[in-house]
Amino acid sequence: DTAVSQTPKYLVTQMGNDKSIKCEQNLGHDTMYWYKQDSKKFLKIMFSYNNKELIINETVPNRFSPKSPDKAHLNLHINSLELGDSAVYFCASSQLYGRSQVHEQFFGPGTRLTVL
Amino acid sequence: RKEVEQDPGPFNVPEGATVAFNCTYSNSASQSFFWYRQDCRKEPKLLMSVYSSGNEDGRFTAQLNRASQYISLLIRDSKLSDSATYLCVVNKGNQGGKLIFGQGTELSVKP
């Protein structure tokens, strides 16, 4: 069973479009994250949700809006896509609080977004 | 200055070689330290956590020097399958699990 899954795996779209990426984890973790990995391979955190509550919100354009309907899902919606949004977007999860705290973050396979 | 700095490499080594990667971090309040491994076009995966006392996992040894804000990873007896990018990762500990990733060091092990 896949622990952290993302859909779609590849996304090619035109500038100005709106798109969404979905993420699901079946590890029972309380915290989920979105990271962006650009062409220079830097992985940077964008957002984090703990039990559906936003706890990390980095300096990201407000065209990016995360949504967490429950603690097992964290989606990312991007409005008015720009060329510079082309990157690989990784979802991750961890257990941040409680006795079963696990610092390790488990990553999904990534979504390769190409904006033309 | 980047919060986590690594030599991007690439390091090209023959099978069986010992190779060492270094990493420095800028925030002295950092609390947790890790090495992640990322294969080409794949997601990062935890290789090992790094403790002040140093820790070893098979052919891999990680060291942390808090005074110098320096982390290292030593790989002994390199295998072809060790070829990957090794990411130095730091957790500040008071920011909701936020991980700061280094750029990664690329390792290529040749026959």
Average pLDDT, chain A: 91
Residue B86 token pair:
């090794």
Nearest beta carbon to residue A50 from set B85, B96, B104? B96
Residue of B nearest to A54 (CA): B96
- Is A104 at the interface with chain B, CB within 8 A? yes
By C-alpha distance, which of B102, B93, B83 is closest to B36?
Answer: B102
- β-pairing, A31-37 vs A43-50, is antiparallel
Kindly determine whether residue B43 and residue A107, on different chains, have CB atoms separated by under 8 Å.
yes
pLDDT digit string, tens, across residues A21-74: 999 999 999 999 999 999 888 899 999 998 888 888 888 899 999 999 999 999
Over the range B43-68, which residues count as b (16 or more CB within 10 Å of their CB) and which as e? bbebbbbbeeeeeeeeebbbbbeeee
CB-CB neighbors (< 8 A) of B43 in chain A: 90, 107-110
pLDDT digit string, tens, across residues B14-54: 999 999 999 999 988 888 899 999 999 999 999 999 988 88
3-state secondary structure of B60: strand
Closest Cα in chain A, distance from residue B45 (Å): 7
